[in-house]
Chain A
Amino acid sequence: MSDVLARLRALLGTAGVERDPDGLPRATPDSIEVLTQVCRVAHEEHWKIRLEGQGTWLAADAPADLALSTRGLDRVVSVSPADLVATVEAGATLEAVRRRLADDGMWFAVDPPGRPERTIGSILATATSGPLRLGFGPIRDHVLGCTVATGDGRVVTAGGRVVKNVAGYDLTKLQVGGFGGFGVIAEVNLRLRALPRADVTLVARGPRDALTGSARDLASAGIVPAALELLSPALAAEAEWVLAARFAGTDAATQSGARALQGVSRLSWQVLPAERSAGFWSVAGRALLGGPVTLRLGVLPDGLDDTLDMLAHHLDEGLVSAGAGGGMLRWTGEATAERLRTIRRTTAAREIPMTIERAPWPLRHAVGHFGAYREGVGRLVGGLRDSFDPGLSLQVALEGDDAGG
């Protein structure tokens, strides 16, 4: 281990290397070049690398020879208000980026679960979109390009800095949601929006099926808010289930949306005062850290009720945040490997993929972020992994022992 420490200090200097609380050498490069060198050396020496951001979402607990932190790569490299594009390093926190962009009237329209000090790299690598996915798309839609260090220390750029681009294969898509298994995201080009002039949140409470029923009515009426999220009582810290709608945009559009919603849905809606609205969503996102395991299920809105029943049967009602308008369900709670495998099997039979977003390493290792691959997918994923991390230096449990495929 001291060998690793000495080699890293030779590369990064004493300031760039420390021991983490477990005594593991932790490298904190402050440039893409050094990040890449660390990967190259680790590859040559067959060291295993644990990737770390701020460590607030996915625990930094993978067994490894060294930890590689992106915290030193935290610059907002450039912002272009006229183009609504920003280039930021992966270790920049969402909160820092948000504040920087707001100065220029711009908005990175994502609201991932977890704490505001999550890094941009963490959000992209885990593809953790939040309720705004309904109005502004999943994380992949907000990323124009990226630069990654491969597991064996090459620098690969993908995409570009313009909002429309089909030059070459879309390798950015592999990195977004790749959990770092295809390289370390170092720098990204983000697609931004103008900061909305108005941002209105309405909430309704009631029995779950009344809320999902109302969400269906809104969908058939063609009403698509920026977010329409179903929150479990435990998550919302309320006695009943909560349906929350958010409209963000121009004054006219948000008012018109809120009016239309109240016209179609028979629920009793409470309009949150502007000062409470941001807090409401941030508390809901943070509440998803309230248990050791978070999983997401790619379910369509009309499958929500059945899937929630199934989860309650195999696990418990848990902390749930689900897209009542566009689908996707996130559950946080306690779970064993065996239960997670059962759920993955059960949902796979219903064409619903399950991704383990966060869990302690033993569970991730046993079950894998991904699994229940369709025929042929495992071979493709293995080949891609081998292309971007030929020595499997990056300690990422993409697949557990039930991957199949």
Chain B
Amino acid sequence: MNEIGGTPLFFLEFGDIVVYFTPFTLTLFLLALVFTVFVLISRPERQIDIAFGADAFYAKVISLPELRFRRFMSIACGLACMGAMVTGDVFDFTLLVSLVGICNVGIVAAVKSRHVQNAAYQYGLVALAGTVPLFSAAAMVAATTGTLSMIELAKDAVAIPLAARALLVLGVMGEGMAPFYAAKAEMFRAPGAPYVIMCSLSSLLIFLRVAEVILLL
């Protein structure tokens, strides 16, 4: 097989679904793991608003259920991201990328503020639209080559249509749009912090992985 990400270190077989670790995918996997642990142990940042015309400030208190929901979504995002980094199956990859998209919607939407909810909704529409090219790409790969295994597809004899590759990239772009919407909602300042970092990290990781997948196919 082509060794874009380096020589595979080891294979983990679940029936016909093979998870494999190369130096490249292992690095991405560890990055996702480390940030998931950070999210697990970190506490939410409280938004501080200065009271206008007075020597005072307001601190927004984040309730325990809200904290739990944000943390759960971030951890779920981390887990989906780890799966997407090491999977050796094209359909599983698309599925896990979609899961990253759903979790990102959850992370953005966890902040109870009208403009943040609006941004989350718009991002959700983009993510949902992104599943169309994503699943179509996987289906086209399966229909034209008869396999979804990246190890089989990496062999030179297998020809994959250009349209399938283009759709895969388009789909990942749709799912990985979260940081733009988080920025639109100005979430990076305090609402949603520090869990919102998982949006950026997961998007970056799925972009890196899809680049490897496209070069591999």
A and B: real partners? no
Binding site for B on A (CB under 8 A): none
Binding site for A on B (CB under 8 A): none
